[in-house]
Chain A
Amino acid sequence: MADKKEKKKLFLPKFSKDDKFIHQSARLRLISLLYVIEEADYVFLKNQTGLTWGNLSSHMEKLEEKGYVDVKKEFKGKKPQTTAKLNDVGRKAFEEYRQKIKMMDKMVKEAGSTS
């Protein structure tokens, strides 16, 4: 039994609640994009991720509530502009998630090559 547990530990990275939160496809697209840039407004995020306005704002709200992104609302002339930036907490959470996915990928590849 202990041996089995050891096997599980070796092979399967443990996904936390935070990882599952990031894992959602739309949020993953948003976080990945925000990770590689410094900041962007919602128009840019919408164009790059292909999300609808509704989806975008709801996921951004969730990311903000989670404390992963800093959202800044301002006016450019008469037009409102909302800018988002992935903060340090969000960056760290995404890096951890990415690490686990990489491990998973490696594991799948290794299993594929041995079977």
Chain B
Amino acid sequence: MLKSTKGKKIMIYTIKPVKLKERTNVNKDELDLKAIEKKAYRSTFQDGIWDIYIGVLLLGFPLSTIGTLFGLGSLISMIFIIPLFYAIAIVFLILGKKKITVPRIGHVKFGPKRQKRKKELVVFLSLLFILNIVIFVLTNLRVVEIGGLLIINIIIIVVPLGIVAYLLDFRRLYLIDFLLGIGIYLTIELEDFLGFPLSPILIFGSIGISIISWGVYFLTRFFKQYPKIEKEA
């Protein structure tokens, strides 16, 4: 503000309490680097492909028990059907990310912190795989008795999946983990009432189908939101 008294010019500085955006024309969100990074990272999960992948994995479990209805042993049934579903799921995940996600949202390499987490995830999953095999062999050979079925499933499925959700920073995975925990509990509790294999078929089947359904919903929304870009302009 400029004032004139007795021919002298005096500058008076006033600072109005205005928001940063008004004073500097910078939206604070544009400088919130954590939020920018999170938004960019989480956009890679908008496609629902991880959800469908996990849903197919879960569906493999109840479907593997169907073999028992046709007189196959539950172990043989599991050995053939579960790996088949694992294979279908992993092929879908890899091809889906390569052929659907990247051409639409683009290619990105995240910073060192995310890369470190990715490495930790690989190490964790490898250890988990070994642990699962050890527990599977030891409990089937009855070398070790590890509490009840509920405890084993919590140790080998629910807790690790929570850690995977944390390492992946994939929030929907916490919900999937929660559903899985409930599913395991209900399968065991309702086994006397529904019988085997109806109990896992009904409970895990519904959970798997629900997860696949919302995955398909996210995928459809993703197709609409991000049309395929054939050529960079």
Contacts and interface: CB of A to CB of B under 8 A. Distances in A.
Nearest to B32: A32
27 contacts: A4-B11, A4-B13, A11-B13, A28-B26, A28-B30, A29-B30, A32-B31, A36-B33, A36-B37, A36-B111, A38-B110, A38-B115, A43-B103, A43-B107, A43-B232, A44-B40, A79-B230, A80-B231, A80-B232, A82-B232, A98-B31, A101-B31, A105-B20, A108-B15, A108-B19, A113-B17, A115-B15
Nearest to B15: A111
A37 B142 CA distance: 50
Interface string B99-123: 0000111111111100100000000
Determine which residue in B16, B105, B226 has the highest number of CB atoms from chain A within 10 A of its CB, and name it: B105
Given A29-B30, A32-B31, A111-B16, 11 more contacts: A32-B30, A33-B36, A41-B232, A42-B106, A43-B229, A43-B232, A46-B106, A48-B43, A104-B20, A105-B24, A115-B16
Interface in B16-58: 16-20, 23-26, 28, 30-31, 33, 36-37, 39-40, 43
A35 B17 CA distance: 30
A47 B20 contact: no
Contacts of A53: 232-233
A25 interface: yes
Most chain A CB within 10 A, of B13, B18, B19, B20, is at B20
A75 B41 CA distance: 24
A39 interface: yes
Interface string B200-233: 0000000000000000000000000010011111
Contacts of B109: 37-40
Contacts of A107: 15
A7 interface: yes
B17 A108 contact: yes
A20 B103 CA distance: 34
Interface SS of chain A: helix, strand, loop or mixed?
A: helix
A111 B20 CA distance: 12
B106 A104 contact: no
B226 to A, nearest CB: 7
A54 B30 contact: no
Given A43-B105, A43-B106, A46-B106, A37 B40 contact: yes
